[in-house]
Amino acid sequence: MRLRQEAIGLQWLALYRDGNMVSSAVLFVLTVGSICGEAAAERQLVYVTVLFRHGDRSPIKPFPTDPHQESDWPQGFGQLSQEGMRQHFDLGHFLRKRYKGFLNESYERHEISVRSTDYDRTLMSAEANLAGLYPPAGEQVFTPNLPWQPIPVHTVPQSEERLLSFPLGDCPRYKQLMNETENTEGFINVTTTYQDIIELVRNKTGLNNTNVETIWSVYDTLFCESCHNMSAPDWVTPDVMEKLRVLKDFGFQITFGFYKQEEKSRLQGGILLGEIVKNLSKMAVPDTKLKLMMLSAHDTTVAALQSSLNVFNGRQPPYASCQIFELYKDDNGSASVSMFYRNDSTVAAFPLQLPGCSLDCPLDEFVRITKLSISEDREKECQVPSKGRDKEVIVSLAVSGSLLLFLIVILLCVICWQKEPIGNRGYHHVINQDAREES
C-alpha cells in the first residue's frame, strides 16, 4: 500500500507541475478516496518466495596464463568467501526486518522451507542467510555466546537438479534456438564490433575456444581477482574490463532472451516460474503454515527467472541479489502478487512490474500473463520442430523399408526352398536323357 501511495503522489506532482490544477484537484480527491477505501480493505501478506544468488566467491577456474592459481585461494575455486558470508548474513537481516511481524521472531520449522542447488557456495550462502534471519533466543540457544542455530537446507544431487540450475542442457530444441541466435544480425554485429577484444583475450590467455559465449569466464576470473585485490596482467586495462563486462552481460541476454525469448523461457526459466506460480496459487487458499520459501542458487537462475517474467534488465545479477514474490490477500478474499528486486545492499528493494499488469498484480492476471512462459509439456516442446525431424523421419523410413524388403526376400527364398521335393535336394547322380527314355 505504501508503494501505491508513493506512485499516486508522483502522479499528483506531475499534474501539478503541468499546471493543470483543476484536473489535479479532481485526481487528488479521487486518489485520497481510493487510499481511504484501501485502508478499509487492508492487504495482508500471506506468503513469500525469495530467490537469491550466492555471495562473493573465488573464480570457477583460471585461464592458462593466469598468474593466480587455486593455491592462491583459501578454499580453492568456486568457494564462498568471508565477504560472501557477510553479504548473505546482511541479506538475512534485511529479510528479518522486512518481514517483522509476519515471520515469528524465532525459527519455526513449519513457517519456512529452504532449498539450494548442490554447490558449496549456495548451501553456505543459505546457511549464512538463515543465521541473519533467525538468530536464536531463549530456549533455542544451545551454546552460550553462540548467536547461531542449525536450520535445515534441502538439496538434490546436481545431476538431478531441474528447478534451480540453468541453462539445462537436456533440450534439443533449446540447442537449436541457440544455434539460430548465433546467426541473427544482432549477434553477428556484436561479434564484429568486439572482434578485437575477442582476439586479444585469445592471444593473451592461452584459450583456444574464445567467443562471445565463452568469454564471460575470463571476465569472471578477472573480476573475482580484482574484488580480492589481486594484481591483474598488464594487458587488462579498464577499457578491456569494460568491454569484457559488456560481452559478459550479452552472454546472459542471448542465453535467456534476445532471440525468441518466450520460447527460450518456456524451455528454461519457465520451469522455475511454473513452480512459483503453482505455489502462489496454492497459498492463496492456505492449508499449511508455510510462509516463506527460500531458494539459494546462481546468477543464471535469477536471470532465467526474470527473463521468463520479461523483467530482466540485461545485466548479470550481482552477488546476493534477491528476487522477491509477495502474495497478499484482501479482506474480500481477492489475492494479488507484488514483485521486488534487491540488487544493491545500500538501497531498498525496488518494485518490479509484470508487463501487462499493475504493481499489485491480481493473482488471476499474474497466472494468465505468466502462462505464456510456462510449458505444459516441456519434453514435447524440447523436440526439434518438424522441419528438422522430417529428414530424420525420411531416413528412418528408408532404412526401415530396406530392412523390411530384405527380410521379405529372405523369407520368400526360405519358403521356395522348403517346397522343393526332398529327392531333388542335395547331391544326386545325373541320369542322361537316353537312359531315362530307355527305362
Which residue pairs, CB below 8 angstroms and at least 24 apart, start in 221-230? 221/59, 221/60, 221/61, 221/62, 221/63, 221/66, 224/57, 224/58, 224/59, 225/59, 225/68, 227/56, 227/83, 228/58, 228/81, 230/68, 230/72
Which are the contacts of 350, defined by CB distance < 8 A and separation ≥ 6? 340, 341, 342
CA distance 23 to 296: 48
Which are the contacts of 360, defined by CB distance < 8 A and separation ≥ 6? 3, 4, 43, 328, 336, 337, 338
Mode of pairing for the β-strands spanning 112-116 and 292-297: parallel
**Per annotation, catalytic residue among 72, 120, 249, 299:** 299
Q: Element (H or E) spanning 239, and its range?
A: helix 238-256
CA distance 207 to 229: 24
54 labelled catalytic = yes
CA distance 133 to 108: 12
Burial class, 289, CB count within 10 angstroms (exposed 0-12 / middle 13-18 / buried 19+): exposed
CA distance 125 to 53: 8
56 labelled catalytic = no
CA distance 21 to 27: 10
Give me the active site residues, please.
54, 299
